[in-house]
Amino acid sequence: MTAFNNSAFKNIGLIGRLGSVRVVETLKRLTRFLDSSGYHVIIEDRTATVLLDHGHAEASRRRLGELCDLVIVVGGDGSLLGAARSLCHSGTPVLGVNRGRLGFLTDICPDELEARVGEVLAGQYEKEERFLLDAELYRGDEVVGRGDALNEVVLHPGKAVRMIEFELFIDGHFVYSQRSDGVIIATPTGSTAYALSGGGPIMHPRLEAITLVPMFPHTLSSRPIVIDAASEIRIHIGETNQTYPHISCDGQTRAVSKPDDVLVVKRKPQRIQLLHPLGHNFYEVLRSKLGWSNRLGD
């Protein structure tokens, strides 16, 4: 993580979670602050539908990354996940304002909006990179589904209440065959999300590692494993499955598999650039969000 002391932000993009009055209020407040500070504001086209008569330029999410020096996301971690998948291709830095629940990624509190955003725009921030995952579903030699994820790729039974049979290969090496409700393939960013609820380990964001967390495996010996992020993960869907397992990326279904399909998951070449106010501390975030105890005597 690197601290910067100068800034070149001129064009600022805004993305907000739809369906929230609090998000709209914060977006309006943020827009007024940016306007008064002399920045050129561009609003994502879908976000603009809840900001009537805003008077600013509009652009699609992907176009926003091409036009802006910084994109500010107002919402929860889910909002930032969606923005990250679109913006990683342009390398545009992303800053999160929390209007959600836990807020592992969106770490600016609305009560400190102007002060904290102002500090970042003045060049007082910390920058870190997070890698994403690419997922492709093969049926023979044909790609029949694909997606990308900042948190996790999940193989699961969908609405069916049936176990899935599959084989796991890492870098071409057979690891195991398994009957379970599926498997969570998570980045360090996703280690504090769905994978955590499945019993997976918490990983520091700077780790170049992927964790595979089995979901309710039909064996007591199956445990999460952590592998090199450069690995290729291949999951061969069993030919005898009586259900069609789903592949979800960051909670959104991207493909439905058939028996004998192969899911391939790799680290994505592009990365998302996250900005944090100075003083951001991963372990402090864990203590705050997960309710860990403070030091003795505090």
pLDDT digits (tens, 9 = 90+) for 123-154: 999 999 999 999 999 999 999 999 999 999 99
What's the whole-number average pLDDT of the chain?
92
What mean pLDDT is predicted for residues 160-174?
93
pLDDT at 16 over 90: yes
Where exactly are the structural domains of the chain? 2-124+278-290, 132-269
Query: Which pLDDT tens digit goes with each residue over 213-243?
Result: 999 998 888 999 999 999 999 999 999 888 8
3-state secondary structure the chain: CEEECCCCCCEEEEEECCCCHHHHHHHHHHHHHHHHCCCEEEEEHHHHCCCCCCCCEEECHHHHHHHCCEEEEEECHHHHHHHHHHHCCCCCCEEEEECCCCCCCCCECHHHHHHHHHHHHCCCEEEEEEEEEEEEEEECCEEEEEEEECCEEEEECCCCCCCEEEEEEECCEEEEEEEECEEEEECCHHHHCHHHHCCCCCCCCCCCEEEEEEECCCCCCCCCEEEECCCCEEEEECCCCCCCCEEEECCEEEEECCCCCEEEEEEEEEEEEEEEECCCCHHHHHHHHHCCCCCCCC
pLDDT (0 to 100) of residue 5 = 38
Confidence of residue 37 (pLDDT cuts 50, 70, 90): very high
pLDDT (0 to 100) of residue 295 = 81
What span, in angstroms and rounded, lies between the C-alpha atoms of 93 and 55?
24
pLDDT (0 to 100) of residue 197 = 93
pLDDT (0 to 100) of residue 1 = 52
What mean pLDDT is predicted for residues 252-271?
96
pLDDT (0 to 100) of residue 162 = 85
pLDDT (0 to 100) of residue 29 = 96
pTM above 0.85, yes or no: yes
Confidence of residue 3 (pLDDT cuts 50, 70, 90): very low
Confidence of residue 7 (pLDDT cuts 50, 70, 90): low
Q: Pick the more confident residue, 2 or 57.
A: 57
261 has catalytic annotation: no
Q: Which of 53, 77, 134, 171 is catalytic?
A: 77
At the second CATH level, the architecture of 132-269 is: Sandwich (2.60)
pLDDT (0 to 100) of residue 4 = 43
Confidence of residue 6 (pLDDT cuts 50, 70, 90): very low
Judged by phi (left if over 0) then psi (alpha if -120 to 50, else beta), residue 238 lies in: beta
Give the CATH fold of the 2-124+278-290 domain: Rossmann fold (3.40.50)
Q: Classify residue 14 by burial, with Cβ atoms within 10 Å: 0-12, 13-18, 19+.
A: buried
pLDDT (0 to 100) of residue 2 = 47
pLDDT at 191 over 90: yes
The percent of residues above 70 in pLDDT, for the chain, comes to 97
